[in-house]
């Protein structure tokens, strides 16, 4: 370790989308250092997503953060990015005859907040010509779906952070945190950093960072999800076709820049790590996709896996620790960390600096208290104590 010692107002741990976005927000008001253990920010989950903005996906708090993020996506600050962050991509949830109950429940919930359409088999075929005839009997179409330019969003936040004089420290794995009653001393593989406030945006490693700091356990569970790319079938011309998702989230398929992105929508519990695809999940994916679509999978062009990290209620965890001073959680982004990033960062920056929650969030019937670490932690601790 070098002898470098830097003092700032805030240290953000982890430079994925969560850390980059809150670091950019905070750096408008104070000095911020972003510590990333990899040489490449975005190397872990942020660089491995399916890049979908799905307003009807996820629990209530996630849906509210997604709706509240839309304004930023549509009109990012000048100079943030070179092109649009969103491109329309309808979302089609499909159900077999035996999945009618799940589809009804989904339509019920989604239609309270957004405009969705129920489709019959013929209607689904019009939108998704690859659907195998006779497989699905009904579906829900959400026209509010979008593809996200994830790299542009992530780079935009990192650029904004740099312009606001933020410091990004790469290869700076955090290995210890100590509090002297006033300040944190954070030991990283690139040197020592001191600050009164630490933000934990370490993705799948967030509970490990919490433990190093002596904070509460939020019960974060990293879950592996696999994705792969195949060639489009010959004669396929509908690159604007919807992302098509099984209503019980057993698989999905999305046209992606001239290829098809597939996933078995797996959620295999994992230790925090550099996740790799498992051959069994790849085979399950091919099998499910070939049952539901008129596609013959002969070759997988590339495949990858990433960790989606959830607490028990699947809502993100955004708020101060009540166990240790000056320790702020920005974790548990699950499968929604990209689509929610703009609003989550605004909320987190306001809470971390003790400012009022912006109206653009409260307008979306949003209760920040539901995302506090106290909401996530006690559930898990009670579970542990009853074992
Ligand atoms: C296959 C797949 C599909 C997905 N599809 C979508 C989608 O369509 N839409 C959507 O919104 N979301 C999607 N997601 C989820 C989304 O990618 C995540 O919610 C989001 O990327 C989480 O961001 P993060 O910054 O919390 O985590 P990460 O990107 O993992 O960032 C955490 C960072 O912390 C760093 N770190 C960890 N420990 C330390 C340490 N000790 N010291 C320093 N740094 C450390 C890591 O190196 C990492 O860079 C998908 C995820 C997967 C895997």
The residue out of 283, 310, 337 marking a domain boundary is 310
pLDDT-derived band of residue 383, with 50, 70 and 90 as boundaries? very low
pLDDT-derived band of residue 9, with 50, 70 and 90 as boundaries? very high
Q: What is the pLDDT of residue 2?
A: 52
Residue nearest to atom 3 of ligand 1 (CA): 49
Ligand 1 atom nearest to 334, measured from its CA: 19
Q: Say if residue 16's pLDDT is above 90.
A: yes
Q: Which domain holds residue 109?
A: 91-143+222-310
Average pLDDT on 138-144 reads 96
Answer yes or no: is the C-beta of 339 below 6 A from any ligand 1 atom: yes
Ligand 1 pocket: which of 21, 46, 191 to mutate (most atoms within 8 A of CB): 46
Inside any domain, residue 58: no
The residue out of 310, 341, 360 marking a domain boundary is 310
376 versus 317: which is more confidently predicted?
Answer: 317
Q: What DSSP state is assigned to residue 131?
A: B
Inside any domain, residue 77: no
> What is the domain count for the chain?
2
Answer yes or no: is the C-beta of 44 below 6 A from any ligand 1 atom: yes
Answer yes or no: is the C-beta of 227 below 6 A from any ligand 1 atom: yes
Question: If you average pLDDT over every residue of the chain, what do you get?
Answer: 94
Q: First-to-last CA distance in the chain?
A: 41
The whole-model pTM stands at 0.95
Tell me: do 160 and 266 sit in the same domain.
no
pLDDT-derived band of residue 358, with 50, 70 and 90 as boundaries? confident
Query: How close is the Cα of 67 to the center of ligand 1, in Å?
Result: 20
Report whether 154 contacts 41 (CB < 8 A).
yes
Select from 18, 39, 126 the least CA-distant residue to 345.
18
Query: How close is the Cα of 126 to the center of ligand 1, in Å?
Result: 35
Tell me: do 252 and 215 sit in the same domain.
no
Query: How close is the Cα of 335 to the center of ligand 1, in Å?
Result: 9
Which of 227-231, 351-355, 369-373 bottoms out in mean pLDDT, i.e. has the lowest?
369-373
Tell me: do 238 and 292 sit in the same domain.
yes
Tell me: do 204 and 159 sit in the same domain.
yes
CATH of residue 206's domain is: 3.50.50.60
The residue out of 285, 310, 335 marking a domain boundary is 310
Tell me: do 226 and 133 sit in the same domain.
yes
Inside any domain, residue 74: no
Query: How close is the Cα of 344 to the center of ligand 1, in Å?
Result: 14
Tell me: do 138 and 155 sit in the same domain.
no
Inside any domain, residue 294: yes
Inside any domain, residue 43: yes
Inside any domain, residue 36: yes
Q: What is the pLDDT of residue 250?
A: 98
Answer yes or no: is the C-beta of 19 below 6 A from any ligand 1 atom: yes
Q: Which three-class secondary structure state does DSSP give residue 330?
A: strand
Contacts of 148 (CB under 8 A, 6+ apart): 51, 52, 53, 73, 85, 86, 338, 339
Inside any domain, residue 75: no
Ligand 1 atom nearest to 18, measured from its CA: 25
Ligand 1 atom nearest to 19, measured from its CA: 25
For the sheet containing 146-148, what is the strand order? 52-53, 146-148, 86-88
Query: How close is the Cα of 316 to the center of ligand 1, in Å?
Result: 12
State the Cα–Cα distance between residues 116 and 25, nearest whole angstrom.
33
Q: Say if residue 178's pLDDT is above 90.
A: yes
Tell me: do 330 and 196 sit in the same domain.
yes
Q: Say if residue 371's pLDDT is above 70.
A: yes
Q: What is the pLDDT of residue 3?
A: 54
CATH of residue 98's domain is: 3.30.9.10
Inside any domain, residue 360: yes
Q: Say if residue 39's pLDDT is above 90.
A: yes
DSSP tally for the chain: helices H, then strands E: 10, 22
Per-residue model confidence as pLDDT tens digits over 251-285 = 999 999 999 999 999 999 999 999 999 999 999 99
């Amino acid at each position: 370790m070098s002898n470098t010692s830097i003092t700032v107002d805030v240290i953000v741990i982890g430079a994925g989308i969560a850390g980059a976005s809150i670091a950019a927000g905070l750096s408008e008001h104070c000095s911020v250092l972003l510590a990333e253990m990899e040489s490449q920010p975005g190397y872990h989950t942020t660089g491995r997503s399916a890049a979908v903005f799905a307003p009807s996906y996820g629990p209530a708090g996630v849906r509210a953060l997604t709706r509240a993020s839309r304004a930023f996506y549509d009109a990012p600050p000048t100079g943030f990015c070179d092109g649009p962050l969103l491109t329309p991509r309808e979302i089609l949830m499909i159900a077999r005859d035996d999945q009618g109950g799940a589809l009804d429940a989904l339509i019920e919930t989604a239609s309270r907040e957004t405009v969705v359409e129920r489709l019959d088999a013929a209607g689904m075929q019009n939108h998704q010509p690859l659907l195998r005839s006779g497989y699905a009997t009904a579906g829900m179409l959400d026209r509010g779906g979008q593809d996200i330019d994830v790299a542009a969003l992530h780079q935009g936040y990192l650029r904004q952070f740099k312009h606001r004089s933020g410091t990004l420290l790469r290869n700076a794995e955090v290995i210890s945190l100590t509090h002297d009653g006033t300040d944190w001393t954070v030991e990283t593989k690139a040197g020592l950093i001191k600050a009164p406030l630490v933000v934990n945006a370490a993705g799948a490693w967030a509970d490990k960072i919490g433990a190093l700091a002596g904070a509460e356990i939020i019960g974060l569970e990293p879950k592996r999800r696999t994705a792969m790319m195949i060639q489009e079938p010959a004669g396929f011309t509908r690159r604007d076709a919807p992302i098509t998702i099984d209503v019980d989230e057993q698989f999905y398929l999305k046209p992606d820049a001239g290829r098809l992105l597939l996933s078995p929508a797996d959620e295999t519990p994992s230790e925090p790590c550099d996740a790799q695809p498992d051959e069994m999940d790849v085979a399950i994916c091919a099998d499910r996709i070939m049952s539901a679509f008129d596609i013959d999978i002969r070759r997988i062009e590339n495949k990858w896996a990433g960790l989606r990290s959830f607490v028990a209620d699947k809502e993100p965890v955004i708020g101060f620790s009540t166990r240790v001073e000056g320790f702020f959680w920005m974790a548990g982004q699950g499968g929604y960390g990209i689509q929610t990033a703009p609003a989550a960062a605004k909320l987190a920056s306001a809470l971390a600096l003790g400012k009022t929650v912006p109206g653009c969030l409260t307008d979306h019937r949003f209760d920040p208290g539901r995302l506090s670490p106290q909401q996530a932690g006690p559930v898990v601790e009670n579970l542990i104590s009853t074992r």
